[in-house]
Amino acid sequence: MSLKNAFYAQSGGVTSVINASACGVIETSRKNSDKIGKLLAGRNGIIGALGEELIDTSRETDADIAALKNTPAGAFGSCRFKLKGLEENRREYERLIEVFKAHDIGYFFYNGGGDSADTCFKVSQLSATMGYPVQAIHIPKTVDNDLPITDVCPGFGSVAKYIAVSALEASFDVSSMAKTSTKVFILEVMGRHAGWIAAAGGLIDDYGVPVLVLFPEVDFNHDKFIAAVKRKVETHGYCTIVVSEGARNADGSFLAEQGTRDAFGHAQLGGVAPVVANMVKQALGYKFHWAVADYLQRSARHIASASDLEQAYALGQAGVEMALAGKNSIMPTIERISSKPYRWQIGSAALADVANVEKTMPLDFINDDGFGITAKCREYLYPLIQGEAYPEYDERGMPRYVVLKNELVDKKLGDFVFQ
């Protein structure tokens, strides 16, 4: 009996450690070559499966696969493409099964966030709904940290570290200059509807920085905010503001709605920093500077968290091990055993419980005035940013990031028309 092949794809926004999960999946598959055949990766995610664009990872060297651990973003390409329900678009599922059959795929590893967990869940039901036997395992990934059940999502810890370190450094800068120049510095961070990344910016008050955080979870109150900024500047000479891209007014509108939407129908956010800067300028007249970290934060492999990197790899590894143990419709998770010292283990969650559930910040992670984080939040966050997992650098001073060959296996089917 020939071995079943496996399919792996990266989905949604990429992170600085999603390739470490890929590395975990591929290296563990290679170690189990007596049980798993080829590991085929979807070119640009799930659309690579639909389009039968399947990367033959067996043509990559062990060294290049190992180098994935140190390379940010999605080495096989990712996409924003959410499979519709079976009733709405049966032909996509039929096509998937056609491709799986043609390439003898029995394992489906999907590396993504909440929307991807939903897609993975649907694939995990194909045996029951359409009679094709496939084991679907979801490997969690999202800088937004908004997947349920798992203690943390790979990618988040590294963004949190980047934001905490960058906000601290910029605050030192502003502190130096505040006497005659900039008094208010505004840093816009990602996180969509969840304030996890913004919360990481709140850590810097442990290091003496007067910081205010604007969370999506707290209705924005203009007058209360301006009063808080004024108090910080009058007391400390300056103020750092960390604002989530998802910060919103009491009526639910975003502070910076751009009016465009992505493929999942989500509002495309960005640009709240200058809005907040202008507010401060108008109300208080303080000189300001603002930064929008955007993709820099989620691709910053140069300052990745060691604990995040380790977990990203471990979850990829666990996904393969779960598949080999016969599991289906499951997601390996991180279970925290203790915070001090930080200890964790791999657990698991049923995809039915994960798909389309968005985890927001617990309200007891936000302090009473709504502009900062609690001790409980700090205890949660610090372990996730522990350790520095530096990439190697070349002799010119640039990081050694790998670009794979990404050679496709021969197509066996006709073209698929995307609708």
Query: CA separation (Å) from 203 to 145, 195, 196, 240, 384?
Result: 17, 13, 12, 12, 12
Nearer to a copy of itself among residue 35 and residue 289 (C-beta): 289
| Identity of the residue, 127 or 339, whose beta carbon is nearer to a copy of itself in the bound complex | 339
Q: Which residues contact 380 (CB under 8 A, 6 or more apart)?
A: 339, 365
Q: Which residue do the tokens 């393969």 mark? A: 320
Minimum CB–partner distance for residue 331 and a copy of itself (Å): 22
Identify the bridge partners of residue 290 per DSSP, sorted by sequence position: 186
Q: Which helix (H) or strand (E) holds 277?
A: helix 272-284
**DSSP assignment, residue 38?**
-
Burial class (CB in 10 A: 0-12, 13-18, 19+), 88: exposed
Q: CB-side exposure of 363: number of CA atoms within 13 Å?
A: 4
Least CB distance to a copy of itself at residue 148 (A): 25
d(CA 106, CA 133): 7
Minimum Å gap between C-beta 303 and a copy of itself is: 6
Marked catalytic residue, from 56, 64, 104, 144:
144
Whether 24 and 312 have beta carbons less than 8 Å apart is answered as yes
Contact 41, 8 (CB under 8 A): yes
**Residue among 12 and 37 whose Cβ is closer to a copy of itself:** 12
Q: How far is the CB of 263 from a copy of itself (least distance, A)?
A: 6
Please name which of 239, 162, 240 lies closest in space to residue 197, comparing C-alpha atoms: 162
**Shortest Å, Cβ 182 to a copy of itself:** 8
Q: Give 197 or 330: the residue with its C-beta nearer to a copy of itself.
A: 197
Please say whether the beta carbons of 386 and 305 come within 8 A.
yes
Shortest distance in whole angstroms from residue 46 CB to a copy of itself = 10
| Alpha carbon distance 1, 62 (integer Å) | 27
Closer by beta carbon to a copy of itself, 37 or else 201: 201
Among this protein's residues, is 56 annotated catalytic?
A: no
Coil, helix or strand at residue 276: helix
Strands 105-112 and 5-10: parallel
Query: Smaller CB distance to a copy of itself: residue 133 or 295?
Result: 295
Sequence letter at residue 366 = I
Q: What single DSSP character describes residue 312?
A: H
Residues labelled as active-site residues: 144
